[in-house]
Amino acid sequence: MRSGISQHMRRIAVTGVALAALGGVGIATAGSASAATGKNGTLESGEFGLYYVTGSSGLVFDLFVSDTNFSGDVFPGTSISANDNTESYRNRDTLTWYVYTNASAGGSEGWLDPGYVGNASSTFKNTISSAYYYDAN
């Protein structure tokens, strides 16, 4: 695992802050968002995106935290499954992301360093079923 506990704790802390902020939505409706919001169809700084087509454009399945199984996930705003249905990536996070061809970090493993943008190789094109912001194996 890369930089182990500190990266994991950062994700937990940011997720907790985001959940707490949701509780205050009725109190304050204006202001700017400072934390990334995964699975909203917009690839923000601090997220990893898997795209439906090559060229890292169009529909994006954006992750801020790990997802162990894409089988119940869809590209936001559509009914298109994200499971085994991505052709390119973009890593806007400061962490290396790991993708796997099976759920729960099974199958083939690949990794994408911070800043990486590109098309999936034949091993990963339309076969990714889970992704982690750390090496899950």
Q: pLDDT tens for residues 88-136?
A: 999 999 999 999 999 999 999 999 999 999 999 999 999 999 999 999 9
Q: Is 122 helix (H, G, I), strand (E, B) or coil?
A: coil
Q: What is the pLDDT of residue 120?
A: 98
51: tokens are 């795209």
Confidence bin at 36 (pLDDT 50/70/90): confident
Top CATH class, 38-132:
mainly beta
> Would you state the structure tokens that stand for residue 24, as one six-digit string?
């205050």
- Sketch the domain layout of the chain as residue ranges: 38-132
**Which residues in 54-76 are b (16+ Cβ under 10 Å) and which e?**
eebeebbbbbbbbbeebeebbbb
Q: What percent of the chain has pLDDT over 70?
A: 75
pLDDT band at 63 (very low <50, low <70, confident <90, very high): very high
Tell me the residue type at 43: L
Judge whether residue 4 has pLDDT over 80.
no
8 Å CB contact between 129 and 102: yes
- Look at residue 23 in the predicted model and tell me its pLDDT: 45
